[in-house]
Amino acid sequence: MQGIMDFIMGGNEINVLDVGVFLRAFVIICLFDSMYMAVISILRMVIKP
């Protein structure tokens, strides 16, 4: 929220930092999500009835 306010006020540097942090968090979440899906599919293969 602070980054958005600084962007509106004209503080571009802080906003750029916020965008970088957001992108990094987004990539990490995507990686964890794909890992989670892979683990679930492997478990489904292993626990086949």
Residue extents of the structural domains in the chain: 2-46
> How wide is the angle at C-alpha 31 spanned by C-alphas 37 and 17, nearest 5°?
150
Per DSSP, the three-state class of 10 is coil
pLDDT in tens, 22-48: 888 888 888 888 888 888 888 898 987
Cβ atoms 27, 15 nearer than 8 A: no
Q: Is the pLDDT higher at 2 or at 22?
A: 22
Among 6-10, 13-17, 40-44, 45-49, the range of highest mean pLDDT: 40-44
